[in-house]
Amino acid sequence: MRDLHLPGRSPVYATHAMAATSMPAATLTALDVMRAGGNALDAAIAAVAVLGVIEPQSTGIGGDNFCLWKQPGKKVVAINGSGRAPAAALIDWYEAQGITAIDDTGPHSVTVPGAVGSWEKLLAEHGTKGLDEVLQPAIRFAEEGWPVHHRVASDWEIAAAKLRKNGTHAFLPNGSAPKAGDVFRQPALAETLRTIAKKGAIGFYEGAVAANMVATLRARGGLHTEEDFAAGRTAAHFVEPIHTAWRGYDVWQCPPNGSGLMVLMLLGILEGFEPTSDPLSVERMHRHVEAARLVYRDRDAFLADPTLSKVPMDQLMDPAYLAALHKLIDPARAMQNLPRAGEAVLPPHRDTVYLCVVDKDGNACSFINSLFKSFGSGILADKAGVMLQNRGAGFVVERGHPNCIAPNKRPMHTIIPGMLTKDGEAVMPFGVMGGHFQPMGQTWFLDNLLQYGMDIQQALDLPRLFPYGGKLEVEPGIPAASIEALARMGHAITMTERPHGGGQAIWIDRARGTLVGGSDPRKDGMALGY
């Protein structure tokens, strides 16, 4: 139990159903849907549609989606709702144009959004309601407006330069980002949501909405066509989830092109470490960071669309390979030269929203939806009110690389829902958002919970750090003495400008008949149940 003399949150308890999202209004929306007879999946999609309106920097119908779904007595179901590059996205064209990297604020970073098609397919297979019903709350929020919350306002201010660069004036009322408490309305988006509610996903991928998105992109030099968008309607597909056993549980992830594989690899490397007495000990932080550096190295080399590139899953998940990576970690010193990707022998030299829902029947939904970076590309299809993602920035422009951009290809993806099961039943849908941070974030959370015995809220609250871009990005909550010790070990320390992600989780305690929820204080949201 937390120290009640100190600031903080307690876990949330309920008996029938629970939702945890990054905005209070979205959490309440999910509960309203379940109280009206909907299941956890209906509630999750209604909530994420609301988040696309009131947390617009993180998600929206212009983005992508992945989901893990578990019903009692049935297998874990996974869907890949990530979008594809245009059919004209040939490496020859990019080379001829002298493009060596994808500008994350330009049209080539925009893949055809996969979320709406994924929502429709999920509801058709596993929901009890249709888009016509679950989109109604989001329509109201877009039409009537909603106050901007503190984290949203902070992110909006940081992204204002991107929006200004792309002429996205509708999101800069009076020339600047809205302040906390300002009511922001999106009438064009409300109309698009009404079209989708009436016509289904076809109302997004074909007709006037799609034409506006395509025209917006082509005016900026994009290669997209209305045929690309029409094909995007059916691009989402169910996939076989991947999993590993860890600490007496099974941890489930979506397979590549998502980064869930990196979570399972990280857990495999960490398997041989015993917990330290202090969860923020230098020893614990150092070894987790070093394991992450090795795993992200492999991600950048191998992770790609498995339908168009070979991803060496068996090699990367081989226990012998992970054990060899484990042995590379020097407890006293940061690696100065990582081995080449896929090798375990040192050579001589060298924004997103996540939510989860559990309903009265025990169905568990782990759901993630994203524009990638804050406000995605920053490109707004103004007539449709659709902010377009920049997932295409996950591609590389390097002929022969597994993740090289190509026609109708999905990029390496960062968003990853997680699911914990035991003896074949759901124990906890969970996720930690935050772009590239997510594999690090999920494993940090799971380690806090299952190794260090924290409650679900404490496991989300604990300060975080992340090795990225040659630096070790540290949150201010890490003790100063520990930061100094990490620096002496060879880590290049930088204090992170923004908190590392956010997270939600719901623990299903069948023995006591309760649900236990946690919601990350780094976001504006909450867990609620009844």
Report, as residue numbers or ranges, the catalytic residues.
Answer: 352
Token readout for 377 is 């590309």
Token readout for 458 is 């404490």
Residue spans of alpha helices (H) in 68-207: 91-96, 115-126, 131-134, 136-144, 150-165, 187-199, 202-205
Token readout for 276 is 């330290």
Q: Distance (Å, rounded) from C-alpha 269 to C-alpha 319?
A: 9
Token readout for 360 is 């009265």
Relative orientation angle of helices 115-126 and 40-54, to the nearest 10 degrees? 160
Q: Distance (Å, rounded) from C-alpha 203 to C-alpha 334?
A: 52
Contacts of 363 (CB under 8 A, 6+ apart): 39, 40, 41, 69, 70, 71, 72
Contacts of 65 (CB under 8 A, 6+ apart): 48, 79, 81, 82, 114, 115, 118, 119, 236, 367, 368, 369, 370, 415
Residue spans of alpha helices (H) in 36-135: 40-54, 91-96, 115-126, 131-134
- Residue 13 burial (C-beta neighbours within 10 Å; 0-12, 13-18, 19+): middle
- Residue 154 burial (C-beta neighbours within 10 Å; 0-12, 13-18, 19+): middle
Token readout for 51 is 């988040």
Contacts of 466 (CB under 8 A, 6+ apart): 289, 292, 436, 437, 440, 441, 472, 473, 496, 500
- Of 237, 300, 209, 263, whose CA–CA distance to 65 is shortest? 237
Phi and psi at 164, nearest 5°, equal: -65, -45
Contact status, residue 139 vs residue 147, Cβ threshold 8 Å = no
Contact status, residue 11 vs residue 517, Cβ threshold 8 Å = yes
34-454-460-240 Cα dihedral, nearest 10 degrees: -60
Q: Distance (Å, rounded) from C-alpha 495 to C-alpha 480?
A: 11
- Of 99, 138, 101, whose CA–CA distance to 116 is shortest? 138
Terminal CA-to-CA distance of the chain, rounded, Å?
A: 22
- Of 510, 515, 478, 513, whose CA–CA distance to 494 is shortest? 478
Token readout for 190 is 């409300």
Contact status, residue 381 vs residue 192, Cβ threshold 8 Å = no
Token readout for 456 is 């679900």
